[in-house]
């Protein structure tokens, strides 16, 4: 392998989120397009009265239990063309577009679909197992990776903490996918929410703000679409000037 090409790690987890802020769908492999993982964040719920604001979405900030709503596709092999179903914490199942689901989520709440995905910043998010472990040390607690809602979890080859910071400006080859690492991921209060208990612990974001300039993990965008799978090597292909 030539010098700028080096193995940074391998993929140990893949997730998509068919509905923004709802539960994750764990994947073994998936296609990645210019608009991120197939089926990722194609639906979102909008809060009443804030449709014209810069952030109209109903998220975990407002309802910490949204992660207990479990979306899935009727035809998972065709997520962009498939019906999306949502299982509620009570065990009921609704089509995502069923008004009864919106009513359950709040007065005046409505659903929208966006074929390119409803992303806060960029369509791909990456975090490493080393970063999760290092944050556990900073906060004095074991943290579930789902607090950070990544698309890709990578186990890096280095033992250094927060290795993905050094990947910003790089192009990574992951399976058939080629992605650019564009920026560090600036975090919000959502990381305080335990995805299992829905309890809030302000220590998490406070530690990230004090020690990490509020950034954990990285955002990226697609350079060449392709398929990725758990176990794929992550190879640094080139350096870019940003």
56-83 pLDDT, tens per residue? 999 999 999 999 999 999 998 888 888 9
Question: Measuring CA to CA, which residue among 22, 48, 18 is closest to residue 36?
Answer: 18
Contact status, residue 220 vs residue 126, Cβ threshold 8 Å: yes
The β-bridge relationship of strands 29-33 and 25-27 is: unpaired
- Report the share of the chain in percent with pLDDT over 70: 96
* Tally of structural domains, the chain: 1
Q: Which tens digits make up the pLDDT trace of 112-145?
A: 999 899 998 999 999 999 999 999 999 999 999 9
Domain CATH code at residue 185? 2.40.33.20
Does residue 1 lie in a domain region? no
Instruction: Kindly state whether residue 43 falls inside one of the protein's structural domains.
Output: yes
- 106 vs 157: CA distance, rounded Å: 45
- Is beta strand 124-128 parallel, antiparallel or unpaired with respect to 152-156? parallel
Q: What is the pTM of this model?
A: 0.94
Which residue range forms the structural domain that includes residue 219?
A: 6-239
- Contacts of 142 by beta carbon, 8 Å cutoff, 6+ apart: 136
Tell whether 110 is covered by a domain.
Answer: yes
């Amino acid at each position: 392998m030539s010098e700028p090409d080096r193995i940074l790690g391998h993929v140990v987890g893949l997730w998509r989120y068919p509905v923004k802020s709802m539960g994750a769908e764990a994947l073994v492999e998936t296609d990645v397009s210019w608009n991120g993982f197939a089926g990722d964040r194609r639906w979102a719920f909008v809060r009443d009265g804030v449709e014209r604001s810069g952030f109209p979405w109903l998220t975990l900030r407002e309802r910490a239990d949204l992660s207990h709503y479990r979306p899935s596709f009727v035809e998972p092999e065709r997520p962009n063309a498939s019906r999306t179903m949502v299982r509620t914490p009570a065990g009921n199942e609704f089509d995502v577009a069923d008004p009864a689901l919106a009513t359950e989520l709040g007065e005046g709440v409505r659903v929208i679909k966006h074929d390119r995905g409803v992303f806060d910043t960029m369509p791909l998010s990456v975090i490493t197992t080393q970063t999760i472990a290092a944050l556990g040390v900073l906060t004095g607690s074991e943290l579930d990776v789902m607090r950070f809602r990544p698309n890709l979890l990578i186990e890096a080859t280095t033992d250094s903490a927060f290795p993905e910071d050094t990947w910003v400006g790089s192009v990574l080859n992951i399976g058939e996918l080629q992605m650019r690492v564009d920026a560090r991921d600036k975090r919000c209060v959502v990381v305080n929410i335990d995805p299992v208990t829905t309890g809030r612990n302000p220590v998490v974001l406070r530690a990230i703000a004090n020690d990490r300039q509020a950034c954990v993990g990285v955002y990226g965008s697609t350079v060449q679409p392709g398929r990725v799978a758990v176990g794929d090597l992550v190879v640094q292909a080139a350096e870019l000037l940003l």
